[in-house]
Amino acid sequence: MTNKNIVWHDQSLTKEERRKKNGHHSSVLWFTGLSGSGKSTVANAAAHRLFDLGVNTYVLDGDNVRHGLNKDLGFSDEARKENIRRIGEVAKLFVDSGQLVFTAFISPFREDRDTVRALLEEGEFIEVFVECPIEKCEERDPKGLYKKARAGEIPEFTGISSPYEAPDKPELVLNTDQYSVDECVDQLVDYLKKNNWL
Ligand SMILES: Nc1ncnc2c1ncn2[C@@H]1O[C@H](COP(=O)(O)OS(=O)(=O)O)[C@@H](OP(=O)(O)O)[C@H]1O
Ligand SMILES: Nc1ncnc2c1ncn2[C@@H]1O[C@H](COP(=O)(O)OP(=O)(O)O)[C@@H](O)[C@H]1O
């Protein structure tokens, strides 16, 4: 519940002024997908490509945020919900600051992603479904987590013992089973250009 003694303070510099100075739109590119689907890899490669094009970008990554801001949270449905709620608020601050922020969280629940969408204005939340069959993610297993989950060493593991709800209508689908990292980045940059957001 919000404390009624806390009053919102508008900033003297607006989001619009910051965007104008930066020369590009600010928004959240919300990557969602299974562990090992390629969220971090593609988000980082895309951030790098855009950085080289002069765009102010930042990547918020599941593993990293859980080391600090969200280190008190586990992987129950409730904890994941709170994880996504906090990330949504942080992402909104980045949008306010005029930057293009990538978020790379499994964010398994449609409702939680939609809650973040509702926090932002039209055109500020771009849902990017990083699509990859679980068999392929499991074969990649970059951190050896699927192996541990199959062995019963990690409870509530997404796709195995905890659900993943794919987006109904994502703004963009990047299929990392079909396309290389570079091709996925091309698709993302094309999407941003097509919408005049670069
Ligand atoms: N039980 C369980 N289920 C799924 N993932 C697990 C789990 N335990 C640890 N990990 C590691 O934590 C990363 C997922 O954190 P997220 O913050 O993205 O998860 S969530 O959005 O709250 O569902 C995830 O990172 P990615 O592999 O980058 O997706 C895993 O490395
Ligand atoms: N086309 C691709 N796109 C993204 N990652 C890929 C692709 N092909 C292979 N990979 C590999 O798959 C793994 C994906 O891991 P990661 O990016 O950490 O996924 P996530 O953040 O979704 O857990 C990495 O080892 C990456 O090199």
The protein residue with its alpha carbon nearest to ligand 1, atom 26, reads 35
Q: What is the DSSP letter of 52?
A: H
Looking at residues 178-183, what average pLDDT do you find?
98
Q: Is the CB of 37 under 6 A from ligand 1?
A: no
Average pLDDT, the chain: 96
In angstroms, the CA 167 to CA 111 distance is 10
Atom of ligand 2 nearest to the CA of 62: 21
Q: What percentage of the chain reaches a pLDDT higher than 90?
A: 91
Residue 100 pLDDT > 90: yes
pTM for the structure as a whole: 0.97
In angstroms, the CA 122 to CA 111 distance is 18
Atom of ligand 1 nearest to the CA of 107: 21
CB 182 within 8 A of CB 45: yes
* pLDDT given for residue 1 in this prediction: 66
Which CATH number does 38-195 carry? 3.40.50.300
The protein residue with its alpha carbon nearest to ligand 1, atom 28, reads 35
Q: Is 26 annotated as a binding residue?
A: no
Residue 9 pLDDT > 90: no
pLDDT tens digits, one per residue of 24-64: 999 999 999 999 999 999 999 999 999 999 999 999 997 78
Of the pLDDT bands very low, low, confident and very high (cuts 50, 70, 90), residue 174 is very high
The protein residue with its alpha carbon nearest to ligand 1, atom 31, reads 63
Note the ligand closest to the C-alpha atom of 40. 2
pLDDT tens digits, one per residue of 117-164: 999 999 999 999 999 999 999 999 999 999 999 999 999 999 999 999
N- to C-terminal Cα separation, the chain: 38
Q: Indicate the domain borders of the chain.
A: 38-195
Known catalytic residues? Answer: 107
Q: Is the CB of 188 under 6 A from ligand 1?
A: no
